[in-house]
C-alpha cells in the first residue's frame, strides 16, 4: 500500500502542475479527492488494514492528503494568475492608421529621380531670400517692370519669400564648383489665391553650366524628362518667350497625352485639355551672360541652360488628376488626400 500511495501522489502532483485553469484542476481534485476519488478510496480502505499497521498508514495518508491539498491550493493561484495575464492571439488586432506621402512629396521624389539618373544633383536654397538672388542677380534691376510678374511677398525691405526657384541659380554658381548640374526643388510664394493658384506652391529649377553648352543640350534634357516622366511617346517643343535671366528664352510645351498631340479626339471633336495638341509646362532658356557674371562665372568661357516649372502643375499633367480647386492640395481634408 505504501507504494500505491507514493505513486498516486506523484501522479497527482505531476498532473496538477500540468493543469492550465481552474476547471482542469477541479476535475483532478474530484478524480483523487472526491467522494469516490482514488485517494479517498485509499482512506476508506484504512479500516481493513491490520490494526498494528493502521496507525502508521493513517499518518502517511494524512500527510499525503495535506500535500495534495497544498498542491491544489498553489496550483489554483498559478492558473488564475496565468489566466489573467493570458494574451489571446485570436482576437483581431487594432490596426493603427497608416498614412502615405503627400501627393506633392511623391511628385518631388519622382521628378528628382528622373534628373538624378542623368547626373543632376539635388539642391535646396533659402525660401526667405534677399532681393539680390531673387531679382537683381537675375538681370532684373530694382526699377525693372518684369519684377511685377512675380507677385512677391516682402518680409522686410530687403527680404522676401522667394517667388521662384531661380533664386538658386546665382547661389549655385557662387559655390564655384563647375560644371554645374543642379536640380533645385523648393517652396515658392506668390501673392495669389484662386482655384488655380495657391500662395505657397513648389517649383523645380534645373541649371547646367559648363563649357560649350548649347540649346541642343537643353532640348535633349527636356525630351529626356518628357519621355521618362510622362511617357515614351511624349515630345516637347520650344516656343520663343521672354525672361530677363535667359537669352534666348522659351516656354516649353509638351504633346498632350489625351489626344496624343493631335488636338483631336477619336470622335472628331477637338481635345478640351490642350491647345491644338500642346500643353504648357514652364519656362526655360540659355543663361543670360549677366547672370553668369553675377555668379562670378566668365560668360566668354562658360555657358548654360536653365528651366523652372511648377511641381503641382507638372504632376497633375502627368497623372491626369483634375483637381477642381488646387487649394485643396494644401487643405487638411483627409477624404481628399487619401485618394492619392
- Residue ranges that bind ligand DAH, judged by CB under 6 A: 164, 166, 205, 243, 246, 249, 282-285, 306-308
Smallest gap from residue 88 Cβ to ligand DAH (A):
60
Place of cell 512677391: 152
Smallest gap from residue 285 Cβ to ligand DAH (A):
4
CA distances to 67, 105, 249, 307 from 225, rounded to whole Å, are 84, 18, 19, 12
Smallest gap from residue 101 Cβ to ligand DAH (A):
25
Indicate the residue among 72 and 317 with the shorter CB distance to ligand DAH.
Answer: 317
Indicate the residue among 79 and 166 with the shorter CB distance to ligand DAH.
Answer: 166
Smallest gap from residue 100 Cβ to ligand DAH (A):
29
Distance CA 44, CA 293 (A): 114
**Reduced DSSP (H G I as helix, E B as strand, rest coil) percent helix, strand, coil of the chain, to 5:** 45, 20, 35
Residue 275: CB atoms within 10 A of its CB come to 12
Long-range CB contacts for residues 96-101, cutoff 8 Å, separation at least 24: 100/340
Indicate the residue among 12 and 307 with the shorter CB distance to ligand DAH.
Answer: 307
Distance CA 56, CA 332 (A): 85
Indicate the residue among 182 and 284 with the shorter CB distance to ligand DAH.
Answer: 284
Task: Show the DSSP H helices in the chain as ranges.
Answer: 2-17, 22-33, 38-44, 51-85, 103-116, 131-134, 167-174, 215-225, 289-294, 311-319, 334-337
Indicate the residue among 28 and 207 with the shorter CB distance to ligand DAH.
Answer: 207
Distance of CA 98 to the CA centre of its chain: 10
Distance CA 3, CA 254 (A): 98
Smallest gap from residue 308 Cβ to ligand DAH (A):
3
Indicate the residue among 164 and 171 with the shorter CB distance to ligand DAH.
Answer: 164
Smallest gap from residue 336 Cβ to ligand DAH (A):
27
Distance CA 54, CA 171 (A): 107
Amino acid at each position: 500500500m505504501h507504494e500505491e500511495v507514493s505513486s498516486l501522489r506523484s501522479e497527482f502532483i505531476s498532473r496538477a502542475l500540468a493543469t492550465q485553469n481552474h476547471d482542469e484542476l477541479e476535475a483532478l481534485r474530484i478524480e483523487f479527492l472526491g467522494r469516490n476519488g482514488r485517494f479517498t478510496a485509499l482512506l476508506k480502505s484504512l479500516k481493513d488494514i491490520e490494526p498494528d499497521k493502521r496507525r502508521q498508514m493513517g499518518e502517511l495518508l494524512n500527510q499525503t492528503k495535506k500535500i495534495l491539498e497544498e498542491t491544489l491550493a498553489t496550483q489554483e493561484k498559478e492558473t488564475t494568475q496565468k489566466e489573467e495575464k493570458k494574451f489571446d492571439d485570436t482576437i483581431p488586432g487594432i490596426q493603427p492608421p497608416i498614412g502615405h506621402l503627400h501627393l506633392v512629396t511623391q511628385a518631388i521624389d519622382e521628378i528628382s529621380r528622373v534628373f538624378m539618373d542623368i547626373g543632376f544633383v539635388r539642391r535646396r536654397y533659402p525660401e526667405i531670400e534677399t532681393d539680390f538672388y531673387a531679382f537683381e542677380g537675375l538681370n532684373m534691376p530694382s526699377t525693372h517692370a518684369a519684377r511685377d510678374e512675380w507677385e512677391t511677398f516682402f518680409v522686410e525691405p530687403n527680404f522676401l519669400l522667394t517667388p521662384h526657384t531661380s533664386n538658386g541659380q546665382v547661389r549655385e554658381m557662387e559655390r564655384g564648383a563647375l560644371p554645374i548640374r543642379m536640380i533645385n526643388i523648393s517652396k515658392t510664394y506668390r501673392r495669389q489665391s484662386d482655384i488655380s493658384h495657391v500662395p505657397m506652391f513648389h517649383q523645380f529649377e534645373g541649371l547646367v553650366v559648363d563649357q560649350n553648352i548649347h540649346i541642343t543640350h537643353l532640348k535633349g534634357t527636356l525630351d529626356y524628362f518628357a519621355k521618362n516622366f510622362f511617357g515614351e511617346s511624349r515630345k516637347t517643343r520650344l516656343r520663343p518667350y521672354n525672361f530677363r535671366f535667359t537669352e534666348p528664352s522659351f516656354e516649353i510645351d509638351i504633346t498632350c497625352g489625351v489626344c496624343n498631340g493631335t488636338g483631336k479626339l477619336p470622335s472628331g471633336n477637338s481635345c478640351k485639355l490642350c491647345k491644338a495638341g500642346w500643353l504648357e509646362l514652364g519656362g526655360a532658356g540659355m543663361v543670360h551672360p549677366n547672370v553668369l557674371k553675377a555668379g562670378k562665372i566668365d560668360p566668354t568661357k562658360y555657358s548654360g541652360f536653365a528651366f523652372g516649372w511648377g511641381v503641382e502643375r507638372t504632376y497633375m499633367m502627368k497623372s491626369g488628376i483634375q483637381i477642381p480647386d488646387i487649394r485643396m492640395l494644401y487643405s487638411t481634408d483627409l477624404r481628399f488626400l487619401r485618394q492619392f
